[in-house]
Structure 1
Amino acid sequence: MNRQPAVAGSFYPANPEQLHLMLDQFLNDAATNEKVPKAIIAPHAGYIYSGPIAASAYARLKKAHDKITRVVLIGPSHRVAFRGLAVSRSETFTTPLGSVPVDQAAVQTLVQLPFVEYIEQAHTYEHSLEVHLPFLQEMLDSFEIVPIVAGEASPEQVSQVLDALWGGDETLIVISSDLSHYHDYATAQQMDKSTSQAIEQLQYERLAPESACGKVPVSGLLKLARKKSLSVTTIDLRNSGDTAGDKASVVGYGAYVIE
Structure 2
Amino acid sequence: MIMHQIKVLQSVVSTLLEGGRGVSGTANPKQPALAIQLYDREGCPFCRRVREVLTMLNLDFEVYPCPKNGTRFRPIAEQIGQEIGGSVQFPLLVDENTGVKLQGSQAIIDYLFQTYGKTGKTPAKWKNLSKQPVIGTLVSGARLMRGLKADSTNATKAPPAQMLQLWSFEASPYTRLVRERLCELELPYALHNVAKERWQDMGPAVLRLKPGPYVPLAGGKREREIVNMQGRLQVPYLIDPNTGVHLFESKDIIDYLNHTYC
Superposition TM-score tier, normalisation by shorter sequence: under 0.3
When normalised by structure 1's length, the TM-score is 0.26
When normalised by structure 2's length, the TM-score is 0.26
Larger Rg: 2
> Could you say which structure has the higher strand fraction?
1
